[in-house]
Amino acid sequence: MRAALEYHRAAKQTAPDPARLRLRLAAVAQTLRGLLADGVAVRLVEFPLHPELAATPYETALRAELRRALPEGECTWLRPTAGFTYMTTDGLHLDTTSARQFAGVLRQAAGLKAP
């Protein structure tokens, strides 16, 4: 796991190009606003990452731009449970227990019952 985490962390040490990211997110935001205007229920999901990856320049810049382009209130965000430590297999992919926990968060947000 440590080797995979280090690989992903190294790959995320550079923030995305701000102009390019804003251009892409502007297109996403326009599409989402069109869907919302048509009455479509849109839910944006922020998946949990290992804390070392979440703190990288890439992920930090991406989260900030997403929140600017698609703010809470205008869009419904589903985020990891505060205070719960999600475990990953490689920094990105949740282990079985954490995947079940996050699936429960998503089910609850969607108003679904556990299977």
The pLDDT tens digits of the residues spanning 92-110 come to 999 999 999 999 888 888 8
Helix (H, G, I), strand (E, B) or coil at 56: coil
pLDDT at 112: 80
Nearest to 58 by CA among 21, 3, 102: 21
Mean pLDDT along residues 17-44: 94
Q: Please give the Cα distance from 14 to 113 (Å, whole number).
A: 41
CA angle 52–25–46, rounded 5-degree value: 40
Mean pLDDT along residues 55-84: 90
> Taking the CB of residue 34, how many other CB atoms lie within 10 A of it?
10
Chain-centroid distance of CA 62 in Å reads: 9
| Model confidence, pTM | 0.83
Query: Is the model's pLDDT at 84 over the cut of 90?
Result: no
Per the DSSP assignment, residues forming a β-bridge with 77 are 44
pLDDT at 73: 87
Residues 60-83 as b/e (b if ≥16 CB within 10 A, e otherwise) read: ebbeebbeebbeeeebebeebeee
Q: Please state, rounded to an integer, the average pLDDT across all residues of the chain.
A: 91
Query: Is the model's pLDDT at 18 over the cut of 90?
Result: yes
pLDDT at 26: 95
Structural domain spans, the chain: 2-110
Classify residue 37 by burial, with Cβ atoms within 10 Å: 0-12, 13-18, 19+. exposed
Binning pLDDT at 50, 70 and 90, where does residue 28 land? very high
